[in-house]
Chain A
Amino acid sequence: MKKYFLISIIALCAVFFANPVSAQMDTHWEVQWNISVPTGEFEDFINESSVRGIEFGGTYHFETGVTLGGAFGYAAFFKKTGRMTIDYQNNTVTAVHFRDMFSYFIMAQGGYAYQTDFPVSPYARLGIGAYYTEMLTQVGLLYWRDENWNFGLRPEVGALIEIPNSGVGFVVNAKYNTLFNYSDNYDNLSYWAFGVGFIFGF
Chain B
Amino acid sequence: MKKSMKRILLPVVLFAMAGIILSACSKYPTYTVNTEDLDMVWTEYDQSVNFAEFKTYYVPDTLLLDSTMSAEDKAYIQEYYENILEEINSNLSALNYTRVDSSANPDMGLVISIITQTNYVYSYSYWWYYPPYWGYPGYGYSYPWATYMGSYEEGALIFDLADLRNIDHQNKNINGIWSALCGGILTNSASTQISKRLLNGIDQAFVQSPYLGTE
Contacts and interface: CB of A to CB of B under 8 A. Distances in A.
B183 A52 contact: no
B150 A143 contact: yes
A187 to B, nearest CB: 24
A95 B152 contact: no
Contacts, number: 130
Chain A contact residues: helix, strand, loop or mixed: strand
A78 interface: yes
Contacts of B38: 96, 140-141
B40 A141 contact: yes
Interface stretch (B19-27, B98-106, B158-166): B19-27
A96 B20 contact: no
B6 A91 contact: no
B44 to A, nearest CB: 5
B147 A198 contact: no
A85 B147 CA distance: 18
A89 interface: yes
Interface stretch (B10-18, B62-70, B129-137): B10-18
Contacts of B33: 80, 98
Contact of B6 (A76, A88, A167): A167
A78 B31 contact: yes
Interface string B150-190: 11110110000000000000000000000000011000000
A74 B23 CA distance: 12
B192 interface: no
Interface size class of chain B, counting residues whose CB lies under 8 Å from the partner chain = 35 or more
Interface size class of chain A, counting residues whose CB lies under 8 Å from the partner chain = 35 or more
A74 B25 contact: yes
A94 B24 contact: no
A42 B177 CA distance: 36
Given A141-B152, A142-B152, A90 B147 contact: yes
B174 to A, nearest CB: 19
B161 to A, nearest CB: 14
Interface in A65-119: 74, 76, 78-80, 85, 88-96, 98, 100, 102
Contacts of A142: 40, 42, 149-152, 183
Given A33-B24, A78-B30, A90-B47, A198 B39 contact: no
A95 B17 contact: no
A56 to B, nearest CB: 9
B43 A100 contact: no
Contacts of A52: 24-26, 30
A91 B39 contact: no
A74 B24 CA distance: 9
Given A90-B46, A95-B39, A168-B10, A140 B25 contact: no
Interface in A146-202: 163, 165-168, 197-198, 200
Contacts of A91: 42-44, 123, 147, 149
B5 A139 contact: no
Nearest to A102: B27
Given A92-B208, A96-B37, A140-B184, A54 B29 contact: no
A91 B16 CA distance: 50
A91 B179 CA distance: 10
15 contacts: A53-B24, A80-B32, A94-B42, A95-B42, A96-B39, A98-B29, A98-B31, A100-B29, A140-B152, A141-B40, A143-B153, A166-B6, A167-B9, A168-B13, A198-B13
Given A90-B147, A166-B9, 15 more contacts: A79-B31, A85-B208, A93-B40, A94-B40, A95-B39, A96-B37, A140-B41, A140-B152, A141-B152, A142-B40, A142-B149, A168-B6, A168-B9, A168-B13, A200-B10
List 4 tightest A-B contacts by C-beta distance, closest first. A140-B40, A80-B31, A95-B40, A54-B24
